[in-house]
Amino acid sequence: ATHKMDNPSYGAVQHESIPLTHLGNNSAKIRLIAGPFKDSIGPILSLAEIQIIDFEISKGGSVKHQIPYGMNTCMVYVYEGSGLVNGSKVDAMHLALLDAHDDSVRELEISADCKINGN
């Protein structure tokens, strides 16, 4: 609400300009789009505290991600295939909405049970 009346700010970031980073487990890659992750900050800047990460998870792979404190709503959208988000199945073109006010939800676990993004 603090910035409700601010002038709009727009920008464009090309997909190719966001590097693809392999996570240590080799079954997942990420593109950090906005906000902080480890020692990096995504190229899209926002007045709100947000974190947008595009995870690409290979079939049978999984990722654990700690939702930063201060960010209490987590949305996971599945582009292709299906997977599990904290143990609940989510199919392609569906969204999982999590309330991270609860510390038990703050650690997010995503696993792919079918082929995603050609991996």
pLDDT tens for each residue of 50-82? 999 999 998 888 888 888 888 888 889 998 889
**Residues in contact with 1: Cβ distance below 8 Å, sequence separation at least 6, in sequence order:** none
- Residue 84: CATH number of its domain: 2.60.120.10
In a domain, 4, yes or no: no
| Percentage of the chain modeled with pLDDT above 70 | 94
Please give the biggest Cα pair distance in the chain: 46
In a domain, 6, yes or no: no
In a domain, 52, yes or no: yes
d(CA 119, CA 116) in angstroms, rounded, equals 6
In a domain, 63, yes or no: yes
Q: How far apart are the first and last CA of the chain?
A: 41
Number of structural domains, the chain?
A: 1
pTM, two decimal places: 0.80
In a domain, 1, yes or no: no
CA 119, 94, 30: angle at the middle one, nearest 5? 40
pLDDT for residue 52: 92
Nearest to 19 by CA among 5, 9, 29, 6: 29
pLDDT for residue 32: 92
Q: What is the mean pLDDT of residues 9-21?
A: 85
Residues in the chain: 119
Q: Which runs of consecutive H residues, i.e. helices, occur in the chain?
A: 103-106
Range of the domain at 33: 15-112
pLDDT for residue 114: 56
Of 49 and 115, which is predicted with more confidence?
49
In a domain, 7, yes or no: no
